[in-house]
Structure formats: structure tokens, C-alpha cells
Amino acid sequence: MPEKHLERKLGSVVVMPDFLIDRVIKLKSKEQFIAEIDKKVKFGRGSIRGIHSVERRGGNAVNIAYCLAKLGVKTKLFTVASQSGRALLEKIFSKYEDVATVHVSSGRHGLTTALEFLDTEGKKANVMLNDSGGNERFGSDRISSKEYLEILNKAAAVVVVNWGSNPFGSELYAYLKNPLEIVVYLFSNYVPNEYLVISRRSTDWSFPFATTISYLSQNSNQLF
């Protein structure tokens, strides 16, 4: 086996790019919450008290990297965050520092506020208010430094998540495939509208990079 391919086979899994802090707010019902908002609106201001909320790490890239590290896989996370976000990530991954490293570009990490409540049928519903921050502009410029390129060239594989949510997702993917020629696992929560139309008319997923894609994971209920 050529030395370069052997090096990649034994290398780390690189995961990128999204990191968010999720705040989950648990409500009794949508109707009660809206009624409380209406009361405050009539007065022009006011706090709604007695609301239970929790904060936790979020972002598909962070969660995948964390799970891989927990399994003992050599993992490197590429993401964007503020100084406080960087400190939080370093703390989160510190227990797996023997296998995981975090590489953070300066910027603004994402924030998600999730409203959880029971619907009229008693089923749990979840509505997320998302501010993607710097995650939605994560392109090749974020990973083109000498340090990052050395890591990527030795990687066994690269996992790119939330491609459909990132306007620079295709540019990022193309950069990884050419000239780096890396095995890329591409995950997307949804496919942009222009590709949805194509995928409904065709069975071969006519993406701009359809002939080079290694793996694509997509929610089927968002395709049809």
C-alpha cells in the first residue's frame, strides 16, 4: 500500500463544521404560552416566569465528533466559535483529549432556542429558533491554513454535516475533493430547493458534484 494511503488509513476522522449552543425551553402547551405572550404584549413588556430551560452542546459536527471520541476514534473537529464558545468546547472534549482535538476558527458560533411542548394530541412537539452564526458561511478559507491542510491530507475520512444549510457547502466539498482527493461523508438535514426539483425528476441525484461524491446521508421525508 502506498505510504500516503497507509497514512490516511491510520489517520483521524475530521468532522466539520457546525457548533451551536442549544437552549431548550419546556412549555406546558403552545396555547398557554401564546396566551402569556398576549398578556405581556398588552402591557408592552414583562417577564413570563416559571419557565424551565436547560442549555446543552449542539451542532451535528460537535455531536458526531463527541460520539466518535467516546468510542475511542481519533477525531479532529473543525468549527467556528467565539472565545467563550472555544472555552466551552475545550472543556467538553477535555475528557477525551487523548483521542480528540478541537480546531476553532474565530467567529460566532450558532445559537438555537428550542421550544418543547405537547400538541393537541398529546404528542411532543419541538420548534427551533435558529441563529447559525458563522456556521452558515463556513467555506474553504476556514480550512486552508498549513496546519489544517496537513491534518486533512492525513485524514482517514472527512465528515461534512449540514451541507444544505451552508451556502458555501458545495464550495467546501469541492475543495476537499479536488485537489485534496479526500473520502468525504456528506450529511445534510435538507437539500436546497434547486436540488429537490432535480432529485424528484431523476434517480441519479444530479448535483454539481454527483460523480465525485463518496457518501450522502439525507432525510428521506425531505426529499419527497
Element housing 30 (H / E): helix 30-43
Long-range contacts, stretch 212-216, CB < 8 angstroms, 24+ apart: 212/177, 212/178, 213/173, 213/184, 213/186, 214/183, 214/184, 214/185, 214/186, 215/184, 215/185, 215/186, 216/186, 216/187, 216/188
Domain assignment of residue 66, yes or no: yes
pLDDT band, residue 85 (cuts 50/70/90): very high
Domain assignment of residue 214, yes or no: yes
For the stretch 128-161, pLDDT in tens is: 898 888 888 899 999 989 999 899 888 888 888 8
Domain assignment of residue 44, yes or no: no
* pLDDT, position 43: 85
| Whole-number average pLDDT of the chain | 79
The parent domain of residue 188 ranges over: 3-23+59-111+135-222
- Which carries the bigger pLDDT value, residue 58 or residue 200? 58
Least Cα distance to 14 among 136, 149, 137 occurs for 149
How many domains are there within the chain? 1
* pLDDT, position 199: 34
Domain assignment of residue 40, yes or no: no
For the stretch 169-217, pLDDT in tens is: 888 888 887 656 666 776 655 444 444 333 333 333 445 555 555 555 5
* pLDDT, position 217: 59
Domain assignment of residue 49, yes or no: no
Domain assignment of residue 116, yes or no: no
CATH number (domain holding residue 88): 3.40.50
| pLDDT at 82 exceeding the cut of 60 | yes
Least Cα distance to 186 among 154, 208, 201, 153 occurs for 208
Domain assignment of residue 37, yes or no: no
Domain assignment of residue 121, yes or no: no
* pLDDT, position 8: 45
| Rounded-to-integer distance, Cα 9 and Cα 148, Å | 18
Q: Residue for cell digits 489517520?
A: 11
* pLDDT, position 221: 45
